[in-house]
Amino acid sequence: MAFNIASSPHDHNRRSTSAIMRTVILCSVFGVIAQCYFFGFGTLIQIVLASISAIIFEAIIVKLRKRPVVPYLRDNTALLTGVLIGLSIPPLAPWWLTVIGVFFAIVIAKHLYGGIGQNLFNPAMIAYVVLLISFPVQMTTWLPPASLSAQPANFMDSIYAIFTGFTQDGFSVPQLKMSVDGYTMATPLDTLKTSLHTGFTTAETMAKPVYGAIAGIGWEWINMGFLVGGLILLKLRVIQWHIPVAMLTSLFVISSLVYIVHPDTTGSPLFHLFSGATMLGAFFIATDPVTASTTVKGRLIFGGFIGVMIYLIRTWGGFPDGVAFAVLLGNLCVPLIDYYTRPRTYGH
């Protein structure tokens, strides 16, 4: 028998890394379908482009490190990173934006730290933050939901827009952002923050056509899709409940307290739970076993910290959604959290 030494953390559910990553990807399908339904096929194209780029960069950097390429590709970690980046990027963002993000995720955030099991930060979130800071215009080109779009883009239009900047009929991506009422639409989180800063109340803002029953049109269903996928991951014991429950609970509690005191200056608790990347972050990103806390108490603190930071960034930060920043800040605190929550050695 061969004795293999591998990097921590070590999973005890008797599944290989490849099987775990594959299950996570399959459980994200519900959210992917909802995102494609409301925002077009651009999301699917971005996922495919990011996944192919991730596999290529993984193979190149592993070859340069003089490691066997096939085992690294078979573990599906690069594929999952590509899927998460494709979901995070606006559907019609230019192709080079996706490639740059994947490069940072695979080469910089993953392999420069030593590869799988060695990276301190979530690679997909590093890529998202780098792109958001470096290319803010391209990273905010989210389209209005299909029902509110003046120029809905079909599959071929999405391909043309991603690789050329224009649809088959010559419409640019900024033109595709126009709603049926003739004004450029922003995401529900951005709309809420802008409206509150300009003197509108929460009730007046939520009456705008971009909002549905509890959150933004489309976004509430996208979050519901990732919630369903996350519950399946919990049922299959691919992830543990501590981080997502702590994150969603802390986000709900802090948003409820502020909403009770100042209901006209903030979104409702349900709005925050079903907006932006909340459910994607809770079940598919924050639960990354490499960059999350490894102790039981630590996971609860880690998840709770992320939930609080999401609300603070959304409410008072410079960006409408704070999931990526909150996760990276949580990753930064993991060594300290683990140090003070590590269990006692038996007998001491």
* Whole-number pLDDT of residue 153: 80
What are the structure tokens assigned to 337, written together?
Answer: 């959290």
Which of 172-176, 286-290, 322-326 is least confident? 172-176
Task: Give the separation between CA 344 and CA 263, rounded to whole angstroms.
Answer: 45
Residues contacting residue 180 through CB under 8 Å, at least 6 positions apart = 148, 149, 150
Which residue would you say has higher pLDDT here, 150 or 160? 160
Q: Is the separation of the CB atoms in 280 and 305 below 8 Å?
A: no
Q: Which amino acid is at 206?
A: M
> Helix, strand, or coil here: 28?
coil
* Whole-number pLDDT of residue 184: 60
Residues contacting residue 152 through CB under 8 Å, at least 6 positions apart = 40, 146
Per domain, the residue ranges of the chain are: 184-338
* Per-residue model confidence as pLDDT tens digits over 17-56: 889 999 999 999 999 999 999 998 999 999 999 999 999 9
* Per-residue model confidence as pLDDT tens digits over 252-285: 999 999 999 988 888 899 999 999 999 999 999 9
Please report which confidence band the pLDDT of residue 84 belongs to, taking 50, 70 and 90 as the band edges. Answer: very high
Q: Mean pLDDT of all residues in the chain? A: 89
pTM for this prediction: 0.90
Q: What is the DSSP letter of 283?
A: I
10 phi/psi in degrees, rounded to 5: -110, 130
Please report which confidence band the pLDDT of residue 168 belongs to, taking 50, 70 and 90 as the band edges. Answer: confident
Q: In what helix (H) or strand (E) does residue 98 lie, and over which residues does it extend?
A: helix 95-103
Task: Give the separation between CA 40 and CA 121, rounded to whole angstroms.
Answer: 30
Q: What is the DSSP letter of 343?
A: P
Cis peptide leading into residue 9 (ω within 30°) = yes
Say whether pLDDT at 188 is over 70: yes
- CA atoms within 13 Å, Cβ hemisphere of 149: 20
Q: What is the DSSP letter of 238?
A: S
Say whether pLDDT at 165 is over 90: no
Say whether pLDDT at 134 is over 90: yes
Average pLDDT over residues 11-16: 63
Which residue would you say has higher pLDDT here, 120 or 148? 120
Task: Give the separation between CA 138 and CA 161, rounded to whole angstroms.
Answer: 12
